């Protein structure tokens, strides 16, 4: 029997939630039905000639439903709309931005664990699963020391080269987040975070951004607002994150990953620029303005 637990994706607010970070964002009215929005987007995916409409769940409370046994090939963590109980996509249906520089972050890998969990971008409703290689479950060689996951409604376009990072192309995934707070979170938990810095990792030639952020409910969240604050209040953390992601493949006989931007973390404004650009890429993806390939759009 599938286990279900309830996680709040966003606290109640009187402000409209925007799917896009552009100045002319489509704003979701507070009275809009989340179920209707969910159906709207799926209909648009199936009928790509219709005009695109932003359809993230407004102010969602999501339930997380685990199917199968953890650390098996069949294990999945699905997201359910708290009102209707219908399956929704953590990648497409949970809004990216909550306004005032606050974003939703979905935990895939809790800190101090090493099972390589990720959103299954090629499966319906994009549940979280454990990554595999040659039919075997993947693990990091050692624990990751921070909560790790993704920003919903972002996508690193593999057809776009970034001239600021050695012309590297996107890795075809949502943008990754490294959350540096003290608490160990749960798989599928949705946190409100503020970005602090960005690292431009290059993994086998592909650009794989790491947004360094902190959950707003962390005791030190009020102390950190930009990259320099991280160095002051979390000394050595940015270097440790860079070194961890640079070296984690070496025990498997692979070369170290590299980092662009002079091997240094970029500041908050640059991180926000990356989030904005990858949100726009996601919008093009779900509008089918670019080839989705094997990616699931619902």
- Write out pLDDT tens, residues 63-121: 999 999 999 999 999 999 988 999 999 999 999 999 999 999 999 999 999 999 999 99
CA distance linking residue 237 with residue 170, whole number of Å: 25
Strand partners, 162: 168
Mean pLDDT of 172-193: 98
For residues 1 and 122, the model is more confident at: 122
Residues annotated as part of the active site: 140
Sequence-separated contacts (24+) of 219-225 with Cβ below 8 Å: 219/182, 220/181, 220/182, 221/181, 221/194, 224/196, 225/194, 225/196, 225/268
Report the distance separating Cα 181 and Cα 107, nearest Å.
12
| Rounded-to-integer distance, Cα 38 and Cα 33, Å | 9
Q: What is the pLDDT of residue 61?
A: 83
Name the β-bridge partners of 298.
none
For 24-33, 166-175, 210-219, which range has the lowest pLDDT when averaged over its residues? Answer: 24-33
pLDDT tops 50 at residue 271: yes
Of 192, 41, 45, whose CA–CA distance to 106 is shortest?
192
Asked if residue 38 has pLDDT above 90, the reply is: no
pLDDT exceeds 90 at position 263: yes
pLDDT at residue 42 in the model: 46
Tokens encoding 95:
């809004």
Across 2-29, average pLDDT: 44
User: Which range has the top average pLDDT, 8-12, 55-59, 218-222?
Assistant: 218-222
What is the share, in percent, of the chain residues with pLDDT greater than 90? 78
CB 56, CB 17: distance < 8 Å? yes
Average pLDDT of the segment spanning 258-283: 98
Residue 134 scores a pLDDT above 70? yes
- Rounded to an integer, the average pLDDT of 229-246 is 98
Give the pLDDT confidence score for residue 20 in this predicted structure: 53
- Is the pLDDT at 257 greater than 80? The verdict is yes
> Residue 114: what pLDDT?
97
The answer to whether the CB of 198 falls within 8 A of the CB of 175 is: no
pLDDT of residue 40: 43
Average pLDDT of 267-274?
98
For residue 155, is pLDDT > 90? Answer: yes
Token pair 């704003």 in the structure block, residue: 27
């Amino acid at each position: 029997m599938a286990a279900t637990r309830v996680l709040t994706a966003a606290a109640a607010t009187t402000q409209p939630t925007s799917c896009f970070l552009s100045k002319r964002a489509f704003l979701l009215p507070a009275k809009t039905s989340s179920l209707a929005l969910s159906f709207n987007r799926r209909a648009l995916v199936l009928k790509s000639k219709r005009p695109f409409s932003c359809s993230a769940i407004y102010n969602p409370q999501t339930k997380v439903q685990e199917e199968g046994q953890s650390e098996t090939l069949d294990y999945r963590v699905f997201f359910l709309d708290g009102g209707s109980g219908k399956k929704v996509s953590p990648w497409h249906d949970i809004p990216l931005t909550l306004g005032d520089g606050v974003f939703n972050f979905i935990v895939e890998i809790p800190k101090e664990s090493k099972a390589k969990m990720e959103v299954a971008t090629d499966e319906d409703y994009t549940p979280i699963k454990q990554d595999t290689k040659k039919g075997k479950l993947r693990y990091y060689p050692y624990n990751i020391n921070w909560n790790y996951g993704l920003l919903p409604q972002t996508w690193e376009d593999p057809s776009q080269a970034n001239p600021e990072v050695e012309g590297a192309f996107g890795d075809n995934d949502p943008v990754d987040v490294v959350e540096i707070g003290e608490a160990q979170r749960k798989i599928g938990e949705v946190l409100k975070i503020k970005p602090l810095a960005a690292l431009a990792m290059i993994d086998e030639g592909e650009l794989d951004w790491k947004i360094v952020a902190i959950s707003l409910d962390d005791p030190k969240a009020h102390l950190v607002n930009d990259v320099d604050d991280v160095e002051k209040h979390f000394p050595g953390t940015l270097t440790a994150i860079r070194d961890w992601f640079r070296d984690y493949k070496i025990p498997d006989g692979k070369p170290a990953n590299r980092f662009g931007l002079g091997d240094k973390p970029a500041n908050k404004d640059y991180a926000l620029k990356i989030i904005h650009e990858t949100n726009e890429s996601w919008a093009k993806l779900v509008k089918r303005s670019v080839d989705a390939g094997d990616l699931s759009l619902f």
